[in-house]
Structure 1
Amino acid sequence: MSPPVSVTAAPQAPPAAIGRMALGAMLLSTTSIFVVLAQVAPTVSAFYRMLFGSAMLLGWVALRRRWVRVGWRDVALALLPALGFSLDLLFWHRSILWVGPGVATLLTNFQVFLMALVGWWIYRERLGRWFLPGIAMALAGLWLLVGAHWSLFDARHRLGVWLGLASGLAYTAYLLSFRRALSGHTGLSAAQFLGLMSLLSASLLLLWGWVEGDVFALVTVRSWSALLALGFFGQVLAWLLMVRAMPLLPASLVGLLLLLQPALAFVLDVLLFKRPTGSGDWLGLALALAGILLGTLRRKRQVIAPALQESRG
């Protein structure tokens, strides 16, 4: 997971930056797959993602000798985003296991519309001309994917759909509080603050898991490897790649490349887990992705936070 960083898009698009951005988005697409492969309870996989990710991030900051002393103010600033991200993972990981990684990843990416509405309501940012058509297109695609088959779903599958959408709401709360903390309120670098937030999130998830009665012991090589990969690819490597690439890319290209995440997650779901998929599902996926892309477009003169603000994983 990556912090939102406000940037002004550069006019040129260096091929190396495009490659890093595309690779980061593709790595994010694997996170939901690792949740399934880990074969542990959803809260347990969320806990280990944040625990392993925080250890790797904080270790990376220390190795680069960029460690800054962490004060109580930094901890207090990290609590709200940690709570938002913990709720996001609690909802999203259940959605992944109950409706499948492809649809769950698509559902949570609907948060781009919430972020745009928050920007319009609180920060008086102007919505793009394609915002409303984008919502309509995305909802049409979502109906083809889940609405058209609603009567065939059992109660858990239906709940998984709602939890996928709820994870986008929790993720929006995380993004807003994270962006506020990084806007001059903390002296920590983005990487160190993200590591601190991840550690606090792991603590909250551990407490919630104990309340649920989950078992946190990992007893198989498959669980260890899947969860280590989840923390490394989703919480560290994808972030390092994208945070270097985004300031060099136009916002429209960033939005387009980020769509690789839900698109590839859906394809991997079909290939690896044999998700039943017909022509209506593929059309629904295309419409939803196109709608999400339209929802990310802004006027060129705006200063935006296009990339990690609108990425999932």
Structure 2
Amino acid sequence: MSNQHPHNSYAPWLLVVGCVIFGMGSLIVKFVPVGGFAIAFWRLAVSMLVFWLLARFFGQRLPASKKARNMALLSGVFLGFDLALWHESIYAVGPGIATLLNSLQIFFLSALGFFWFGEKLGKLQTVSLLIAVSGVALIASPEFGHNQNAVWGFASGIVSGCMLALSMIFIRKTHEAGHAALFPMMMLVSAGGMAAMLLPSLLFDFDQLYPTTCRDIGLILVYGAVMQCFAWGLIAYAVPLLTLSMTGLLLLSEPVAALVIDYFLLNKPINPVQWAGAALTLFAIYLGSLKQKH
């Protein structure tokens, strides 16, 4: 008899559903007239409330270690800037390219692992990085020719990936500092991000700070509760049940879904050179995920 966990057969589908729902959040960002920093603030505020309610319901307490609490809050600071810069990239170059650029976080994780934790880069990761650079160049070259916001869109998208990698690093440091139950930890992460986004929202998005219609309020509630809590929960549940190579492959469903949404629903022109660059970048991200677990 197979000793496979009975839930493992559902894990790939849960991961794909989580990624697709997560990627569909870019549609909300595109159509709700709230600034990129401000909508990150509201998303994290909604998720903080949801995680607080879940922590109370399940009787989970905050981490006992002060260092663990601080690490979780710091992770949230980087997550806040990740979301805000991803939103800015969506406005500039569209959900598909922005989400693809954000997915480059895997290479920042490898770099941080090398400099911070002494993890060695394998030949596969080095080759995948070179392929990714080539893919991004193919995507960028036509975009720069017709989109005056392309420079900011690519810069903010790539930096958002770096911010996401740093957020993940500090999640890891939270667990290293002491036991941290899921819901209180994510509440702290959301609180840290919300606090970090308050001043930038007031400085850069003062004219687009609040949702002004019931529809926009509802969409932001969906964005915080469904994309930040439900979709991320599906991803977090499924990842430990899958092999690393399968996880890397299925996580590509998020940028693929965003590209499809961008092309078919938002009518963004994506030429064959850019499609080839997207495919090359996705292949590189997949290769970059194939590193051995320690």
Q: What TM-score comes out, normalization by structure 2 length?
A: 0.90
One-letter code aligned to 1:207: L
Distance 1:178 1:132, change over 3 A: same
1:72: how far off? 5.4
Task: Tell whether 2:204 aligns with 1:217.
Answer: no
Give the direction of change, closer, same or farther, for the CA distance of 1:151–1:78 in structure 2 (3 Å limit). Answer: same
Could you say which residue in structure 1 is the equivalent of 2:229?
236
Pair 1:54 & 2:48 matched = yes
Q: Which residue of 1 aligns with 2:188?
A: 196
Distance 1:160 1:280 in 2: 18
Distance 2:235 2:111 in 1: 24
Matched, 1:178 2:174: no
Answer 1 or 2: which has greater helix percent: 2
SS in structure 2 at match of 1:29: helix
Distance 1:52 1:141 in 2: 36
Query: 1:245 maps to which residue?
Result: 238
Q: Larger deviation: 93-102 or 235-244?
A: 235-244
Superimposed CA distance per residue, residues 26-75 of structure 1 (whole angstroms, 9 cap, x where no aligned partner):
11111222211222111111111100111112211211222347775554
Match of 1:4 in 2: none
Partner of 2:32: 38
- Measure the CA separation in 2 of the matches of 1:39 and 1:70: 40
Partner in structure 1 of residue 144 of structure 2:
150
Residue 199 (structure 2) aligns with: 207
Task: Indicate the SS of the match to 2:10.
Answer: helix
- Report the TM-score when normalising by structure 1: 0.85
Q: Cα offset for 1:146?
A: 1.1
Following the alignment from structure 2 to structure 1, what is the Cα–Cα distance between the partners of residues 37 and 228?
16
Partner Cα separation in structure 2 for residue 168 and residue 94 of structure 1: 13
Note the residue ranges of structure 1 that are not aligned, 5 or more in a row: 1-9, 304-313
Q: Establish whether residue 77 from structure 1 lines up as the match of residue 71 from structure 2.
A: yes
Does the 8 A contact of 2:44 with 2:190 survive in 1? yes
- Kindly state the Cα deviation for residue 107 of structure 1 after the two structures are TM-superposed: 0.6
Deviations 1:208-245 (A, max 9, x none): 21233344332212311221121122211122212222
Instruction: Answer yes or no: is the 8 Å Cα contact 2:43–2:224 preserved in 1.
Output: yes
Aligned residues: 290
Describe the SS at the equivalent of 1:126: coil
User: Which secondary structure state, in structure 2, belongs to the residue aligned with residue 14 of structure 1?
Assistant: helix
- Report the Cα offset of residue 124 of structure 1: 2.9
State the shift of 1:142 in Å. Answer: 1.2
Counterpart-to-counterpart distance in 2, 1:274 and 1:250? 36
Deviations 1:154-206 (A, max 9, x none): 1x3311111111111222221112210122x2443132111112022112212
Q: Structure 1 stretches (4+) deviating beyond 6 angstroms?
A: 10-13
1:63 aligns with 2:45: no
What residue is the counterpart of 2:161 in the other structure? 168
* 3-state SS of paired residue (1:120): helix
Change (3 A) 1:69 1:270: same
Contact map agreement 1:45 1:227 (CA 8 A) in 2: yes
Aligned amino acid, residue 254 of structure 1: T
Alpha-carbon distance, 1:25 to partner: 1.4
> What corresponds to 1:132 in structure 2?
126
Aligned equivalent of 2:135: 141
Tell me what 1:107 maps to. 101
Tell me the distance in 1 between the aligned counterparts of 2:277 and 2:67. 45
